[in-house]
């Protein structure tokens, strides 16, 4: 890949007719949007690596002028999992149909992207800016982050504990007690005697107290 800076604009028709290929580097400072995306902490452009660019001009099977390309660059960031620094190797591939009027873009298929030429010129930043921004990850992370392993171990431990204590959770559940109370109220409204299970749920010593009262009554007699 050539280390020479790429021109800021090209005469696109000439490049298409000659099926030309162009390569070079693009400095992030040439696009305010790219510079802001690659340096969120306000790092000066001198500290940002150049973006390698390769462009191919040609016509597609419908004889429409096209420009295809690839951008490669590195980006310093912080891992969203462990908050440690990491260096990302990023790549953006794209294929654009060159049109001369804005209205023509609406006639392209849904899976086709286009770029509007500025008369005989086509600007480099208009070609590569959006593909570069779309290739930047929203949540950068290490490929094998230690925090992922810690999180997976904790999830497995929690799942094992849940298997070992299913009945304890069910007995302590407010929903379970509320359900028993609701059934008891329904039985009362329907003049149905409450079951032993529901009585014991609310007054576990009711039967024992009744037996003791009966014994005292027998002794008195």
Q: Please give the pLDDT value at position 154.
A: 46
Q: Please give the pLDDT value at position 139.
A: 85
Q: pTM of the predicted model, to two decimals?
A: 0.63
Domain presence at residue 60: yes
Domain hosting residue 123, numbered range: 9-147
Q: Please give the pLDDT value at position 43.
A: 57
pLDDT tens digits along 43-101: 555 668 899 999 999 999 999 999 999 999 998 888 888 888 888 999 999 999 999 99
Same domain, yes or no: 104 and 194: no
Same domain, yes or no: 138 and 179: no
Domain presence at residue 187: yes
Q: Which long-range contacts (CB under 8 A, 24 or more apart) does 172-178 make?
A: 177/201
Domain presence at residue 157: no
Classify 110 as helix, strand or coil.
coil
For the beta carbon of residue 175, count every other beta carbon within 10 angstroms: 7
Same domain, yes or no: 143 and 176: no
pLDDT tens digits along 166-215: 545 545 555 544 555 555 566 555 555 544 444 444 455 555 556 666 66
Question: Dihedral sign, CA of 134, 136, 138, 139?
Answer: positive
pLDDT tens digits along 6-49: 999 999 999 999 999 999 999 998 999 999 888 866 555 566 88
Strands of 51-59's sheet, edge to edge? 21-26, 51-59, 65-78, 85-99, 113-116
Round to whole Å and give the CA distance between 86 and 44. Answer: 19
Same domain, yes or no: 87 and 184: no
Classify 178 as helix, strand or coil.
helix
Q: Please give the pLDDT value at position 86.
A: 87
Same domain, yes or no: 129 and 182: no
- The bridge status of strand 113-116 relative to strand 121-123 is unpaired
Domain presence at residue 61: yes
Residue 68 contacts residue 74 (beta carbons within 8 Å): no
Same domain, yes or no: 34 and 97: yes
Same domain, yes or no: 94 and 177: no
Domain presence at residue 3: no
Same domain, yes or no: 27 and 120: yes
Domain presence at residue 154: no
Into how many domains does the chain fold? 2
Domain presence at residue 83: yes
Round to whole Å and give the CA distance between 221 and 214. Answer: 11
Q: Please give the pLDDT value at position 108.
A: 94
Round to whole Å and give the CA distance between 43 and 35. Answer: 9
Of the two residues 221 and 106, the one the predictor is more confident about is 106
């Amino acid at each position: 890949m050539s280390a020479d800076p790429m021109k800021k604009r090209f005469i696109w028709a000439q490049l298409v007719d000659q099926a030309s290929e162009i390569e070079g580097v693009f400095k992030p400072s040439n696009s305010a949007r790219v510079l802001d995306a690659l340096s969120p902490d306000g790092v000066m452009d001198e500290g940002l690596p150049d973006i390698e660019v390769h462009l191919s001009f040609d016509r597609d099977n419908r004889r429409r002028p096209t420009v295809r390309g690839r951008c490669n660059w590195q980006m310093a960031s912080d891992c969203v999992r462990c908050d440690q620094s990491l260096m990302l190797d990023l790549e953006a591939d794209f294929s654009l149909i060159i049109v001369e009027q804005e209205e023509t873009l609406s006639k392209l298929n849904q899976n086709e992207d286009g770029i509007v030429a500025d008369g005989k010129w086509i600007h480099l930043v208009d070609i590569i800016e959006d593909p570069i921004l779309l290739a930047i990850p929203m949540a950068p992370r290490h490929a094998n982050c230690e925090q992922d392993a810690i999180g997976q171990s904790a999830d497995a431990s929690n799942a094992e504990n849940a298997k070992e204590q299913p009945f304890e959770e069910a007995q302590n559940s407010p929903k379970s007690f509320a359900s028993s109370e609701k059934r008891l109220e329904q039985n009362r409204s329907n003049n149905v005697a409450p079951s032993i299970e529901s009585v014991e749920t609310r007054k576990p010593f009711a039967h024992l107290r009744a037996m003791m009262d009966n014994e005292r009554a027998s002794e008195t007699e």
